[in-house]
Chains A and B, each alone.
Chain A
Amino acid sequence: MAPPMIDPALFDQLKENIEKDGSIRKDLEKIIEELNQHVSYTQGVLTKIHSTPRSKYPALLAQVEGGIKKELETTTRLSQFSSQYPYYKYNYKWGRTLQDAIATVLLCAWLGGMGSDSKPGEVGRLLTLEEVGEVFGVPVNLKDRDAFHITIEEYLLALISVIEDLSRLAMNSVTLGDTELAVQISGFIKDLHGGFQMLNLKNDILRKRTDSVKYAVKKVEDVVYDLSLRNLIPTKEAQ
Chain B
Amino acid sequence: MDEAPAPKRTKIVCEDTPKKSIDNSTGKTMSGFKRDRHGNEKRFDNGPRPAPKPKVAVVRNAYTPMFEQLRDELDAHHDRRDRLGKVSRDVTGLSKKIVRTINPDLPPQIQAEVDSRLAEISKLLAVMVPDVQGINRHRYSRSLMCLEELAEALTFAHYLKTQTLLKPEELSAFVEELTRKGGAAVSEGKEKDKDEPMPDAGNTPAPAASGDQETTTESDPKPAENEQQQQQQSKPEPPIMSTTEDDYFYGVFDLSGEMMRFATTSTALTGKMAGAEDERTIVEDMHELGSFFEMLPMKAGDKKQWEKKLDVMRQSVRKVERLGYDRKIRGSERPQGWVPDLTVDQPGEEEE
| Chain B binding surface SS class | loop
A118 at the interface (CB under 8 A from B): no
Output the nearest chain A residue to B68 by Cβ-Cβ distance.
Answer: A198
A202 at the interface (CB under 8 A from B): yes
Bitwise, B288-312 to A at CB < 8 A (1) or not (0) is 1100100111111100000000000
CA distance A89 to B210 in the complex (A): 14
Closest chain A CB from B42 CB (angstroms): 24
CA distance A87 to B139 in the complex (A): 8
A195→B5 contact, CB < 8 A: no
Task: Knowing A19-B297, A235-B2, say if A198 contacts B71 (CB, 8 Å).
Answer: yes
Output the nearest chain B residue to A14 by Cβ-Cβ distance.
Answer: B296
A14→B204 contact, CB < 8 A: no
Segment from A5-13, A34-42, A56-64 that makes contact with B: A5-13
A7→B165 contact, CB < 8 A: yes
Output the nearest chain A residue to B205 by Cβ-Cβ distance.
Answer: A145
Find chain B residues with CB under 8 A from A155 CB: 70
CA distance A234 to B209 in the complex (A): 58
Choose one: A145, A147, A200; the contact of B71 (CB below 8 Å).
A200
B165→A6 contact, CB < 8 A: yes
Find chain A residues with CB under 8 A from B58 CB: 194, 197-198
CA distance A6 to B170 in the complex (A): 13
B10→A225 contact, CB < 8 A: yes
Interface positions, chain A 216-231, Cβ under 8 Å from B, are: 218, 221, 224-225, 228-229, 231
Find chain B residues with CB under 8 A from A144 CB: 134, 199, 203-204
CA distance A221 to B68 in the complex (A): 25
A232 at the interface (CB under 8 A from B): yes
A83 at the interface (CB under 8 A from B): yes
Choose one: A7, A18, A129, A234; the contact of B299 (CB below 8 Å).
A18
B212→A13 contact, CB < 8 A: no
Interface positions, chain A 1-26, Cβ under 8 Å from B, are: 1-7, 10-11, 13-15, 17-19, 21-22, 25
Q: Count of B residues near A, CB < 8 Å?
A: 75
B63 at the interface (CB under 8 A from A): yes
B329 at the interface (CB under 8 A from A): no
B7 at the interface (CB under 8 A from A): yes
Find chain A residues with CB under 8 A from B1 CB: 231-232
CA distance A162 to B301 in the complex (A): 30
Closest chain B CB from A72 CB (angstroms): 18
A85 at the interface (CB under 8 A from B): yes
Choose one: A2, A4, A17, A232; the contact of B288 (CB below 8 Å).
A4
Find chain A residues with CB under 8 A from B199 CB: 143-145
Task: Knowing A88-B138, A89-B138, A128-B66, say if A83 contacts B207 (CB, 8 Å).
Answer: yes
B55 at the interface (CB under 8 A from A): yes
Size band of the A side of the interface? Answer: 35 or more
A198→B218 contact, CB < 8 A: no
B218→A22 contact, CB < 8 A: no
B64→A195 contact, CB < 8 A: yes
A31 at the interface (CB under 8 A from B): no
Task: Knowing A200-B71, A200-B74, A234-B2, say if A84 contacts B66 (CB, 8 Å).
Answer: no
Task: Knowing A6-B164, A88-B141, A198-B67, say if A191 contacts B75 (CB, 8 Å).
Answer: no
Closest chain B CB from A159 CB (angstroms): 10
A156 at the interface (CB under 8 A from B): yes
Choose one: A18, A87, A191; the contact of B135 (CB below 8 Å).
A87
Task: Knowing A14-B168, A15-B297, A147-B212, say if A6 contacts B292 (CB, 8 Å).
Answer: yes
Closest chain B CB from A187 CB (angstroms): 9
B180 at the interface (CB under 8 A from A): no
B279 at the interface (CB under 8 A from A): yes
CA distance A143 to B279 in the complex (A): 53
Interface positions, chain B 213-227, Cβ under 8 Å from A, are: 214-215, 218-220
B61→A5 contact, CB < 8 A: no
Output the nearest chain A residue to B76 by Cβ-Cβ distance.
Answer: A143
B339 at the interface (CB under 8 A from A): no
A86 at the interface (CB under 8 A from B): yes
A123 at the interface (CB under 8 A from B): no
B59 at the interface (CB under 8 A from A): yes
CA distance A232 to B288 in the complex (A): 80
Output the nearest chain B residue to A9 by Cβ-Cβ distance.
Answer: B167
Closest chain B CB from A147 CB (angstroms): 6
A176 at the interface (CB under 8 A from B): no
Task: Knowing A5-B288, A225-B10, say if A145 contacts B139 (CB, 8 Å).
Answer: no
Interface positions, chain A 23-73, Cβ under 8 Å from B, are: 25
A86→B296 contact, CB < 8 A: no
A126 at the interface (CB under 8 A from B): yes
Residues on A close to B: CB < 8 A?
A: 1-7, 10-11, 13-15, 17-19, 21-22, 25, 80, 83-89, 126, 128-129, 141-147, 152-153, 155-156, 191-192, 194-202, 218, 221, 224-225, 228-229, 231-235
A194-B58, A198-B68 known; 6 other A-B pairs, CB under 8 Å? A2-B280, A5-B165, A200-B78, A218-B16, A229-B7, A231-B7
What are 7 A-to-B residue pairs whose CB atoms are below 8 Å?
A2-B276, A87-B138, A194-B63, A198-B64, A228-B6, A228-B10, A229-B10
Closest 7 CB pairs of A and B: A195-B67, A88-B138, A228-B9, A146-B135, A88-B139, A144-B199, A83-B211
